[in-house]
Amino acid sequence: MIVLRRLLSSAVSIFILVTLVFFMAHLTPGGPAFSILGQKATPQSVAALNARLGLNTPLLAQYGIWWWHLLQGRLGYSYLLNRPVGALLWSYEVNTLVFYAVAISLSTVLAILLGLAQGVWHGRAPAKLIGAFQLGFYATPPFFTAAILVLVFAVGLHWLPASGIGNPRLAHPGLGSFAAHLVLPVVTVMLLTVPMLSRYFGEAVHEELGKDYVRTARAKGVGFTAILFRHVLRNALRPLVTMLGLSFPYIFTGGVIVESVFNYPGLGWLLWRSALSQDYPVLIAIVLLIGLLTVLGNLLADLVNGLLDPRANYE
Amino acid sequence: MNRGRGGLTAGVSLGAAVLALGFIGPLLYRADPYAIHPAHALQGPSLAFPLGTDELGRDGLALLLSGGQATLEVALPAALLAFATGLAYGLLAGLGPGWLDKILMRLLDVVLALPSLVVLIFFAAIVPLNNTSLVLLLGFIAWPGLARLVRNEVIAQRGRDFILAAQQSGAGVFYLARVHLLRVIAPVLVVNATFLVGDTIFALSALSFLGLGVQPPQVSWGSLMQSALDIIALAPWWLILPPGLLIFASLLAASLTGQGLLRRGRGR
């Protein structure tokens, strides 16, 4: 029941999202005709191109057509590359999903470890040290982190490649080369997300440790490690999962920058390139896709929460 | 408690230092940021050029100060605009009829679900970019978080006795908002205004870094980072560290000040 309601609510979000993106793209001054024609735009040529692109029909009719095309999976053609947007996005999307899967899972593991340490040693030196790390890196913009990492590990020490996803000198760079290219981008994202997640998780652990059930368990003679890993961890994980779902937009904001700095061909990189060249169909499709992924991410977080704690289903 | 005050002091001093650098700095160090000295291109710090030169031979310190001024001149008005928009939206949702609140909040959920930088990039690609359009752009993207907060605060206060009493004696919506609500939620507003400044400085720097913010020949901290990164193979650390550290300092100042204020408010 609750799952159904969540699904319905996500569907409504997606409907609003699609509508919002349509009007964002069609009501903003400027517009595709100007960017395609550039300096040579005259009122006549703009009108002619608008007619060819179907931009001169009434707005509501365009909105209807937009939905019709979307439901068929027709996202239009890239102005720049003259390829169907759907096919174009696919490879970038795979790269992005791989990148985030690695970055987010590593971030979560590290955040849990740091958060546990912080909760257990609350108020003492190790926790304070972790707190300083969190505050410092929380305020560090990702492009700065990335620049320092490249300066030290790529330019200075020559340990790791600075950009791309494979050694361009090899015909088949292989998995090892891909992994090496992932290291610096992933570390940059981790330095962005771990401070936020671990801080949040650390506070949850600290709070759980002060609760009655912990005292009861200790009084019954259960060992501290058992309490920590069997009870506290599970209870504190629930807010962390919610937080992870909610912070996806934040993580992606960093991800766009990271993909751009490292020339990692993912959705963020493609978004950036199509923004610079004003490739509207691609831009719109990426914004939609990212919004969709976010809504689904939140849905997933809710469902996982239901599994972690059945009570969540009745709230 | 003591630690909170230390953080607040550090945050405010750091913020004041950054502001002074951006607005007073260019008055004191008067070298022309656009003057080109090809003979001295890409040199490290020296007496003539305290922060070195870039690949065109422009004075690094002059660029940094001019970039700071541009960054602050766009980010601060944008934060103010975002603050006003968020406050108005939140008050409207909190004080308006129930159906309006539902619609406005639902819309907000979707807007908040989109990564703000993605939306910014989208608009930056569509509109012609100059400092005015950037202020509007950043101002209209940064407000949703504040709007939700204001709305929740208003809802929380709405049922309290003094509000009910005022309503009973015939107070209108605007009177309520002005005389009672704003005063009660002022501390929350101040804290979040501080965070907003950090947000807009970050967003502008990120956009400029991607080439979609402050446009050449004008420079900003973000665009200075970008042009330094273009030639990173030559390891020009004197071009990368200063703008990066200043963005970092601004964000840290906003974060420390906001959290310090928050802690002080809770302590009372």
Q: Residues B122-131: pLDDT tens digits?
A: 888 888 888 8
Q: How far is the CA of B97 from the CAs of B55, B100, B102, B155, B173, in angstroms?
A: 59, 6, 9, 12, 11
pLDDT at A38 over 70: no
DSSP secondary structure string for all residues of A87-156:
HHHHHHHHHHHHHHHHHHHHHHHHHHHHHHHHHHTTTSHHHHHHHHHHHHHHTS-HHHHHHHHIIIIIII
User: Which pLDDT belongs to residue B81?
Assistant: 96
* Distance (Å, whole) CA B252 – CA B247: 8
pLDDT one-digit tens code per residue, B184-215: 888 888 888 999 999 999 999 999 999 898 88
pLDDT > 90 in chain B, percent: 22
Which of B106, B117, B241 to mutate: most A Cβ within 10 Å? B117
First to last CA, chain B: 10
Between the CA of residue A234 and those of A39, A219, A240, B182, what are the distances in Å?
A: 60, 20, 10, 40
Integer Cα distance of A267 and A256 in angstroms: 8
Rounded to an integer, what is the distance from CA A97 to the centroid of its chain?
A: 9
Q: Is the pLDDT of residue B79 over 70?
A: yes
**Length in residues, chain A:** 315
CB contact (8 A) between residue B240 and residue A249 = no
Q: Counting every residue, how long is chain B?
A: 268
The pLDDT of residue A155 is 78
**B72-89 average pLDDT score:** 94
The distance of B18 to chain A (nearest Cα, Å) reads 15
In A263-282, the residues whose Cβ lies within 8 Å of chain B are 271-272, 274-276, 278, 280
Cβ-nearest to B125 among A148, A150, A283? A283
Assess whether pLDDT exceeds 60 at residue B3: no
Q: For residue A78, which of A277, A271, A281 has the smallest C-alpha distance? A: A281
Q: Can you give the pLDDT at residue A254?
A: 84
Of B113, B205, B240, the CB nearest to A147: B240
Interface of A with B in 16-45 (CB under 8 A): 16-17, 20, 24-25, 28-31
d(CA A200, CA A111): 9
Q: DSSP for A42-65?
A: -HHHHHHHHHHTTTTS-HHHHHHH
Q: Is the pLDDT of residue B62 over 60?
A: yes
The type of residue at B233 is A
- SS3 at position A163: coil
pLDDT at A31 (0 to 100) = 64
Interchain contact, A156 vs B225, CB within 8 Å: no
Range A26-34 average pLDDT: 67
Query: Nearest CA of chain B to the CA of A29: how many Å?
Result: 6
More confident residue, A24 or A266: A266
Residue of A nearest to B239 (CA): A147
Report chain A's mean pLDDT, rounded to a whole number. Answer: 81
Rounded to two decimals, what is the model's pTM? Answer: 0.85
Binned at pLDDT 50, 70 and 90, residue B1 comes out as: very low
Burial B199-225 (b: 16+ CB within 10 A, else e): bbbbbbbbbbbbbbbbbeebbbbbbbb
Q: How far is CA A68 from CA A61, A62, A75, A85, B56, in A?
A: 11, 10, 10, 16, 52
Separation between Cα atoms, residue B220 and residue B129, nearest integer Å: 14
A256 with B109: Cβ contact below 8 A: no
Average confidence score pLDDT of chain B: 85
**Long-range Cβ pairs for the range B102-108 (8 Å, 24+):** B104/B151, B105/B148, B105/B151, B106/A12, B106/A13, B106/A16, B107/A16, B107/A20, B108/B144, B108/B147, B108/B148
Model confidence at A315: pLDDT above 50:
no
Q: Of the ranges A17-21, B44-48, B81-85, B174-178, which is most confident? A: B81-85
Query: What pLDDT, on a 0 to 100 scale, did the predictor assign at position B85?
Result: 94
Report yes or no: A8 at the B interface, CB cutoff 8 Å.
no
Mutation pick from A151, A193, A300 vs chain B, by most beta carbons of B within 10 Å, is: A151
Sort out which chain A residues have CB atoms less than 8 A from B125's CB and list them.
Answer: 274-276, 278, 280, 283
What single-letter DSSP state applies at residue B46? -
Q: Which residues contact B149 (CB under 8 A, 6 or more apart)?
A: B86, B90, B188, B192
Phi–psi pair at A77, nearest 5 degrees: -110, 140
Segment 159-178 of chain A within 8 Å of chain B by CB: 162
B173/A contact by beta carbon, under 8 A: no
For residue A312, the model assigns a pLDDT of 60
Hey, which residues 47-66 in chain A have their CB within 8 Å of chain B? Answer: none
- Asked if residue B257 has pLDDT above 80, the reply is yes
Q: Select, from the ranges A43-47, A239-243, A248-252, B194-198, the one with the highest average predicted confidence (pLDDT).
A: B194-198
Query: Which pLDDT does position B135 carry in this prediction?
Result: 94
> A28, A55, A144: which to substitute to probe chain B, counting the most B Cβ within 10 Å?
A144
Q: Which of A133-137, A160-164, B92-96, B242-246 has the lowest mean pLDDT?
A: A160-164
User: Is B268's pLDDT higher than 60?
Assistant: no
Task: Pick the closest to residue A283 from A14, A62, A26 (CA basis).
Answer: A26
Mean pLDDT score, B173-185 = 78
B103 CB near a chain A CB, below 8 Å?
no
Instruction: Count Cβ–Cβ pairs < 8 Å, chain A vs chain B.
Output: 146
User: Who wins on pLDDT, A29 or A204?
Assistant: A204
Q: Which residue has the higher pLDDT, A52 or A131?
A: A131
